[in-house]
Structure 1
Amino acid sequence: MSNLPGDVLCRRLQLSMILQHLRVFETGGGISASYAGKLLADAGAEVIKIEPPGGEPLRRWSASGAELGDKDGPLFQFLNTSKRSVIGDPSDPEVADLLASGDILIDSTDQGLPPAVIDAARQANPALVLVSISPWGRTGPYAHRPATEFTLQAECGGIGKRGNPERPPVQAGGVIGEWTAAIYAGVGALAAARAAGRSGRGDHVDVSMFETMVMTMNTYAWINAEFTGDTNPQRPGRNVELPSIEPTADGHVGFCTVARQQFLDFLVMIGRSDWLEDEEMCGYGGRWKRRDEFRAAMHAWTTQRTTAEVIAEASARRIPVAPIGTGATVPTLEAFSGRDAFTTNPSGGFTQPAIPYQLHGADTRPFEPVPAAGEHTGQIEAHTPQSNRGEPAALPLAGVRVIDFTAWWAGPIASHSLALLGADVVKVESIQRADGMRFASAHPPSVDQWWEWGMVFHGANTNKRGVTLDLRSPEGVAIAEQLIADADVVIENFTPRVMDGFGLTWERLSALNPRLIMTRMPAFGLSGAWRDNTGFAQTMEQLTGMANITGYPDEDPQIPRGPCDPLAGMHAVFATLTALEERDRTGQGRLVEVTMVAAALNAAAEQLVEYPALGRQLPREGNRGPRAAPQGVYPAAGFERWVAIAVANDHQWEALCGLLDRPDWADYDTADKRRAVADSIDAGIAEWVAPQTDADAVEQLLAAGIPASVVVLGAEIGGHPQLLARPFIESINHPVCGEVPCASLPFRFESSPDPWTKTPAPTLGQHNHEVLGGELGLSDQDLAELEDKGVIGARPSGL
């Protein structure tokens, strides 16, 4: 018997079905379409999989190669709770009729659905939203080029930056590109459906996996190259962070020292205070040159202590630190104590990551069992697509105002996406504590306004307006409350104590503005054992098992370096869009909690379900993997030039044997046989690649239908033909930096031919007069007095 008030209980019951007015179809399957569909199903949408006879191939998949018997694989079971299944082809008349009843159609088929099928569905239902997910996007010069997630990692600049220079560059394990494409597809689907609900006009959301990987694995290196002029291809770009994953007396531990103070505290912790004034050692470039000296000193300290002892001491000093999780250990780690981070799969009975966000005061949708293939064929009821309000077509978030208290990358990339989707985003910093990414600058402090040259700041803050407010002052808090009083969304990504310390609590803000949605993005949550711990993307990659399957098997694990910030940010956008859907219907705001670690857990789900379901730990395999054989990176002619190749099926293998004139390989006609002689095959491919340029080798491989790519350096990506043609990279004029090649969204809307990017990233305090004066009504004298007190300003204090 519930003791909740009646209206609260009603809201709890209703919330788990926020999206129940939406019918979603999935075609093509795989991780990307299935996880996008899962996001929508978990929020209450009716999601129907259209599977071929015998079921989607992912049903028979185990990354460890385990025998499944007559059961679905654990990854399939994780991705497909609370869905329905029909057997058929979208071209079948009965299936085509079904499609016209949908609100969203998610398609990941290789070549896309036949135009006649799409046209018929959209003619019958003009509000239908088509979401296509493909390696390159459906348009552009590379649209039909063969690719796998591995070759896209090479093409996007991800592989080229990772690893010790003594070894070939190495992939990020776990097909993270599939997961990043999925969350962007989920966001694009829900955003476009929101717009269709207003205007009655559907859209095509064209998601490019390549672009999502440029966004998540490159970290705007092309902007830094533009700022510095450093695009030297003769300089190897890969390295390993120092410190990162290091040996202890009983295993490994992961560090992250992105802020200078964190690194200085680290030096004190390992007993090397003598290096505090050594600017070469305190700067990453100098430390990398002296890496043997640094590692010797660091390991002399870490290897004399257990992992638990190292974590305790580093945590006491507020140095981001984590154990290196595995498929077996992640659910047992202290970081998840006191949190509902895991749940039980209703079909397989194994432990799996829970839904990666929480709308406070509401229950999530209970998982329903995974459907059998075709279980609901012939049983799908009639459905009337969502009604619309007959409003003019506009961007999905037109008219939504967001007050943005985020910093670094995960939070800013979330509010950046809201801004690109049409929201009016006001970014709040202070001159005492500006966004830390301003200071990751392309220029030294000797350059005027050097804090305006941070590549990540530019990448994640276009389309925003910027103000400064010292929230440690009563005046600053009072003005912030004025901004919030008529806002739709507040978003922040500090540790919980920060906003609470300012007095800007959910209780205070919701009383001030009952319609407000407050999206909070703490690293580890608003509750739990690690509530107050600082965490960055590197920490999440170490903790959730991503690092454990990245790198060479005979070396320490390595972090993927990048994806967890955008993964967390886009889960926050999805959760915020979901809360806006509820608010539009009820008029009531909501506290939304999206932790970075929960988003990472979901993207690491394959290894996290493989172990409890099948008892198999996924290995660290360098550049090899379970989805292609052979798969590797091979040296080409010239300095630091490499070719990435992935043979994903037997037809491609036959083509490779023909191209290399290797009839003696013909007997290796299955992936298992090829894995058994992988070293020999790799040697043969390397011999063929070696005398050629990387471009010449790739051209021949692609012509034969074999997925291949040059290993691109991150700085080289700015001129990529596919990114410019769609366009993903859009230049905008900045008042300090001039033309800046900024990142837009990694999907295109058919209805939005204009550039996503309208305004450059704001300079510090650029819009104080426009927002605080013109909109809040503060006079010039008021603003001058606030500037004299340091409440506002346009230059960081204490430089």
Structure 2
Amino acid sequence: MRVLDLTDELGAAAIRHLVGLGADVVRVPAARAGSRASELHWYSGVRVVADGPGLLDELAAEADVVVESGPRWSLRGLTGEGGSRWPGRVHVVVTPFGLTGPRRDWLGGDLVTASAGGMTWLGGRPDGPPKPPPREFALQVAGAHAAIAAYVGLLDQAPRLIDISVQQAVAATLETGAISWIHTGAVPVRSGGVYAHVAHRVFRAVDGYAAGGYSGSDRMWTDLLAWMDETGEAEDLTDEKYADAVFRWNARSHVDEVVTRFAARRTAAQLGEEGRKRALPWAEVSRADQLPGNPQLRSRDFFRTVDGLTDVGYPVRLPAGVASRRRRLQGLRVLDLTWVLAGPYATRQLADFGADVIKVESRHRQDPTRFQPSMRLRPDATFDDGGYFMNFNRGKRSIAVNMRLAEGQELVRRLARECDVIIDNYSPGTMARWGLDHPSLSEANPELIAVSMSGVGQTGPWRNAVTFADTLAAMSGLTDETADPGGDPQGLTFGLGDMVAANAAVLGVLAMLAEGRGGFVDLSQLESMAAAMGPAVLEHQLGAPPTGATPSRPHRVAHRAPHGVYPARGEDRWVAIAVEDDAQWRTLARRTGIGDAGLTLAERKADEDRIDDALAAWTGARDADEIAETLQAAGVPAAVVATGEDLVERDPQLAVRGFYPVLCHPIAGEVRHEGGVFTPAVSRPAPLLGEHTSQILEELLGDATAADPSVLE
């Protein structure tokens, strides 16, 4: 793939993804350079040329894809009518709020778009302001979707302008952040890192912190309890009543207290190591500077050297192979052997792009998002109409197969021979034991693309580690950076790591399709997360300027001021404001009266406490929506820190762009769902368990029956 890169910080992550997948990228910088750590990480491997008369048209003529980002008015590749200057190319454009809608000209970097998209609301301490994830994940998820869009455009074989809204990419990455409102009329509250729907959190250890918990299958609880009981620290949790998942969930505060005391008597390394030995989802909270010493990542040659410095690798690595024929997305058949979140979100995206996704599931291997009461969201929901499952499995067909039985395994092997792609997130070795590994299947289906989304990869000393989103974030260095200055790491309360891994899986599939070859992609969800921590790893080697952040002002950054989340009128209402340059400061100062309009960045940083206090007093007397509208109209980046209710009910931009379509489910009726980032939502709701079993078997295998009826349940 030949790429013309016209990005600023909004699209930088897209370029890194494409370079990592082998693209030949020529960059014509669109804005001032960022920090050395950022430039080294995001743009390593590109060729940089200076703009000149006629150069962009010349380079675009030689490119397959143009990737561009920035505010709408700054884009060099748009015509006056809003079309692409290069209609014969796939032209991917990343803007803060999209090219259409009433807020198409609104400004925003990471903090503002993370707030407008709902991500900021989910983080932070209950007694402090909302806080987005560290390391600019709003821009990172938008960049991943821009890279995905580049491949989709190529595979569609119809050059077009593809519109990526950072706000929309964020809103698609909230797990239950918005669908809780859709299904329960409630929004998650800031909890300092305690998940609302799974019993996982960050625990203090003797010498640091560990992430872990006891949700998931029953074994996650029974094996943790056995560990605690062996050391005489289970207290009253051995009482039979705690064996009941519903009772245990309702008694979570007490259970957490006991587990907290247990964790506090061990080092973080002991908790992680023993957790891995027992196949429990526990991990030490690591710092970014410790990543290069991680034995699992080192064993898989994850790291790269850039200008003599150690940088992280890429989210997904493709196997070697020879191209044959490029395939299209429409009608692509995908066998989905995934569960929970990372895999289902990946396969849902493929369904959005036109693939026929066949989800293999069973009553005998229960997907927690179907069967766990806390994940159904609505109290009266069954395993067929739970809100979580419906949102992340829409557009798919379901076949019920009991793969504990030999006949069930053989049936799935036969289905795999009829598919183009197979995706699983089983533990390493499981697919091989069933004869479903790529070497076995490719004998009959040589063009098969197989993606295995294990926690840490198929090889390495930790390959059998059991992971949840929080343990992956802990291993990757991200959780450590969620701490306020001088405080404890809080972790994240939504599955950001799952979404990051899902996007990597989608990119792996699309790149293989575009190259027209089959093969096995060994995707490590840990590597997908660690790949996002490159600037942090480089900063530890290069040094980074102080941000001035404090426990009450954790959003401060070195290169912008003011930059933060400020209280607005009303209970727990907030607005994000991020001044990017001196001109925006002059506008803000004149409109609010909070300081001298002539202050430079250095002077503002020196006076940041007073400026922030004055700005908070000004915002506290006004409605958040009024503040955002007023400041954006004047050219100052600002946005409401949106809750799920704000996104679903009150956001005019998402409404106009149709981000929450209504699908009619056979049990739940008409229900809003999260839409796709740049494709129209499919019209088919999530399937009932085994809804399409007979149809699929007849269609693909010519026989809708099984010798043993218990196989198909």
Partner of 1:18: none
Q: Which residue of 2 aligns with 1:254?
A: 211
Q: Which residue of 2 aligns with 1:113?
A: 75
* Structure 2 residue matching 1:477: 3-state secondary structure: helix
1:768 paired to 2:693: yes
User: In the aligned structure 2, how far is the partner of 1:135 from the partner of 1:178?
Assistant: 9
Alpha-carbon distance in 2 for matches of 1:309, 1:708: 44
Q: Residue 185 of structure 1: CA displacement?
A: 0.6
Report how far residue 685 of structure 1 moved: 1.4
Pairing of 1:283-322 with structure 2 (within 5 A): 287=252, 290=253, 297-322=258-283
Task: Indicate the residue corresponding to 2:414 in structure 1.
Answer: 482
Structure 2 residue corresponding to 1:623, chosen from 555, 558, 570: 555
SS of aligned partner of 1:87: coil
Supply the distance in 2 between the matched residues of 1:162 and 1:284 (Cα, whole angstroms): 22
Mapping 1:420-459, distance limit 5 Å: 420-441=352-373, 450-459=382-391
- Could you tell me which residue of structure 2 aligns to residue 104 of structure 1? 65
2:525 is matched with which residue? 596
The separation in 1 between residues aligned to 2:119 and 2:318, in whole angstroms, is: 34
1:709 lines up with 2:639 in the alignment: yes
Equivalent residue in structure 1 for 2:42, among 62, 79, 100: 79
**1:351 matched residue in structure 2:** 310
Partner of 2:538: 609
1:429 Cα deviation (Å)? 0.7
- Match of residue 401 from structure 2: 469
Cα pair 1:405 1:492 within 8 Å, conserved: yes
Does 154-163 or 758-767 show the bigger shift?
Answer: 154-163
Paired residue secondary structure (2:147): helix
SS for the counterpart of 1:428 is strand
Give the secondary-structure state (helix, strand or coil) at the position aligned to 1:206.
Answer: strand
- Give the direction of change, closer, same or farther, for the CA distance of 1:400–1:134 in structure 2 (3 Å limit): same
Q: Deviations over 1:118-155 (max 9, x none)?
A: 999968x6531110001111111111122221122222
Gap change, CA 1:434 and 1:710, over 3 Å in 2: same
Q: In 2, Cα distance between the equivalents of 1:556 and 1:462?
A: 38
Q: 1:143 and 2:104 equivalent? A: yes
Q: Which residue of 1 aligns with 2:2?
A: 23
TM-align CA RMSD: 3.0
Distance in 1 (alpha carbons) for counterparts of 2:349 and 2:23: 23
1:225 aligns with 2:145: no
Find 2:346's aligned residue among 414, 420, 425.
Answer: 414
**109-118 or 518-527, which moves further after superposition?**
109-118
| 2:193 matches 1:240 | yes
Q: Which residue of 1 aligns with 2:167?
A: 210
Which of residues 37, 57, 82 in structure 1 aligns to 2:32?
57
Retained in 2: the 8 A contact 1:74–1:613?
Answer: yes
Matched, 1:581 2:537: no
CA separation in 2, counterparts of 1:565 and 1:239? 20
Do 2:84 and 2:161's aligned partners in 1 also have CA atoms closer than 8 Å? no
Q: Tell me, yes or no, if the aligned pair for 2:454 and 2:524 is still in contact at 8 Å.
A: yes
Q: Say which SS state the counterpart of residue 209 (structure 2) adopts.
A: strand
Alignment of 1:120-159 (within 5 A): 126-159=87-120
Q: Which residues of 2 match residues 255-274 of structure 1 at below 5 A?
A: 255-259=212-216, 261=218, 262-263=220-221, 265-267=223-225, 269-270=227-228, 271-274=233-236
> 1:446: how far off?
11
Number of the residue aligned with 2:502: 569
Alignment match, 1:377:
none
CA distance in 2: counterparts of 1:268 and 1:690, whole angstroms: 51
* Partner of residue 507, structure 1: 439
- 1:286–1:136 CA distance, 2 compared to 1 (3 A): farther
SS of 2:104's equivalent?
Answer: coil
One-letter code aligned to 2:25 = V
> Shift of residue 238 of structure 1?
4.3
Q: Is the 8 A contact 1:462 1:760 kept in 2?
A: yes
Partners of 2:178 and 2:473 in 1: CA distance: 24
Query: What residue identity is the alignment partner of 2:131?
Result: V
Taking the aligned partners of 1:443 and 1:82, their CA distance within structure 2 comes to: 42
What secondary structure sits across from 1:351 in the alignment? Answer: strand
1:742 maps onto 2:698 in alignment:
no
Change (3 A) 1:453 1:715: farther
TM normalised by structure 1 equals 0.81
Q: Which secondary structure state, in structure 2, belongs to the residue aligned with residue 452 of structure 1?
A: coil
Q: Alpha-carbon deviation of 1:40? A: 2.4
Range with bigger deviation, 156-165 or 324-333? 156-165
Which of 633, 658, 669 is 1:727 aligned to? 658
**1:440–1:454 Cα contact (<8 Å) kept:** no
Q: Is the 8 A contact 1:159 1:172 kept in 2?
A: yes
- Structure-2 change in CA distance of 1:188 and 1:444 (3 Å): closer
**Judging changes above 3 Å, is the alpha-carbon distance between structure 1 residues 168 and 601 closer, same or farther for their aligned structure 2 residues?**
same
1:639 partner SS: coil
**CA distance, structure 2, for counterparts of residue 274 and residue 178 of structure 1:** 46
Query: Where does residue 589 of structure 2 map in the other structure?
Result: 657
Q: Which residue is 1:38 aligned to?
A: 16
Displacement of 1:335 in angstroms is 3.4
Residue pair 2:37, 2:539 contacting (<8 A) in 1 also: yes
Aligned: 1:177 with 2:134:
no
Instruction: Name the CA distance, whole Å, in 1 between partners of 2:588 and 2:79.
Output: 35
Partner-residue secondary structure (3-state), 2:299: coil
TM-superposition CA deviations, 1:148-182 (whole Å, max 9, x none): 21122222222222233122222211111111111
The Cα of 1:668 is off from its aligned counterpart by: 3.6
Does residue 477 of structure 2 align to residue 498 of structure 1?
no
Task: Kindly indicate whether the alpha-carbon contact (under 8 Å) linking 1:487 and 1:516 is maintained by their aligned counterparts in 2.
Answer: yes
Q: Distance in 2 between matches of 1:74 and 1:249?
A: 33
Partner of 2:156: 195
Is the Cα contact below 8 Å between 1:441 and 1:453 reproduced in 2?
no
CA contact (8 A) 2:449 2:518 kept: yes
Q: Work out whether 1:341 is the aligned partner of 2:302.
A: yes
| Counterpart residue type for residue 322 of structure 1 | A
Query: Measured at CA, do residues 104 and 237 of structure 1 come closer, stay the same or move farther in structure 2, by a change above 3 Å?
Result: same
- Does the aligned pair in 2 maintain the 1:326–1:617 contact within 8 Å? no
Q: Is the 8 A contact 2:90 2:150 kept in 1?
A: yes
Q: 1:51 to 1:226 in 2, by over 3 A?
A: closer
SS where residue 652 of structure 1 aligns? Answer: helix
> Structure 1 residues 445 and 353 mapped into 2: Cα distance closer, same or farther (>3 Å)?
closer
Q: Percent of aligned positions with the same letter in both sequences?
A: 28
Determine helix, strand or coil for the equivalent of 1:25: strand
**Cα deviation digits, residues 576-614 of structure 1 (max 9, x gap):** 1121233x3xxx521111111111112121102222344
Q: Which runs of 5+ in 1 are unaligned?
A: 1-21, 63-72, 365-387, 390-394, 749-754, 794-799
Match for residue 369 of structure 1? none
1:662-677 pair list within 5 angstroms: 662-663=594-595, 665-666=596-597, 668-670=599-601, 672-677=602-607
Q: CA deviation at 1:556?
A: 0.8
Partner of 1:379: none
Q: Does the CA contact (< 8 Å) of 2:479 and 2:489 recur in 1? A: yes
